[in-house]
Amino acid sequence: MQQLDDKVAAITGAGSGIGRALALELAGRGCRLAISDVSSEGLAETERLLGGRARALTVSVVDVADESAVLGWADQVVADHARANLVFNNAGVALSGTVAALSTDDYRWIMGINFWGVVHGTKAFLPHLEASGEGHVVNISSVFGLTAQPLMSGYNASKYAVRGFTESLRQDLELTGSRVSATCVHPGGIKTNIARAARTDASTAAAMGKPSDAAAHDFEKSFITSPAKAAEVIVEGVRKDKRRVLIGPDARLIDVMGRVAPAGYQRLMTGVVRKRAAR
């Protein structure tokens, strides 16, 4: 999809962070936008920032963990815009804690949003993308979908699942001769509020040796890429039909580290967390 002008793009999690930045980036490239988020306040702020820059804009409060809600939204997007060309399954949450401390409900919660939200968005929009004659599915994983980290088992599991789902989807589309393509995105540290908004078990703060908000603040210090830059890289990756998009030098380093030392990197990650806790 070399040309984005006048294409219809649906974005989940558009009330903040990368989702909001994608809305602004795509508006600047002439797209018609259908944005959604679970937060009406966040969506209102994104709409304000867009300031009429999009060719057309519709705004919907949608919980991506709710399959029927996502299916209804996809149908409404096509009713409002006559078609859908791109879907960015971006909505996501974070969860911290040891495996022993986290409940199965914690795991169901994060998988419902991070993984099932991607599945719901993909399945809901795929027939519409096919009908448009030229479509693209963009699913946001993470560097945590390339390598694992301690205290992040739920987040790791969800992002590894997104990676596997999207890579298989891409191959399915090629196998069937579809005009739709798919890209999996692996952002490194992006300057968003996801760490502060994370559900954090007390065991995480204990392991870090400090209150959970202080631990999140320390973690955020490693976030080096702006949402605007991330959105630009993602959109260029779509234009170039890339299978995988890595965002930030940290993402590229982690990708190499995981491939070169698939066992050794785990000891390194544990050591980093211990060093943070000792500060």
Catalytic residues: 155
Would you state the torsion angle of the CA atoms of residues 121, 84, 143, 259, taken in this order, to the nearest 10 degrees?
100
Backbone angle region of 241, left / alpha / beta, with phi > 0 → left and psi within -120 to 50 → alpha: left
> Rounded to an integer, what distance in angstroms lies between the CA atom of residue 205 and that of residue 44?
33
* Residue 244: CA count within 13 A, CB half-sphere: 16
Check the CA dihedral 241-243-249-250 and report its sign. positive
Strand, helix or coil at 263?
coil
How far is it, in rounded angstroms, from Cα 224 to Cα 202?
27
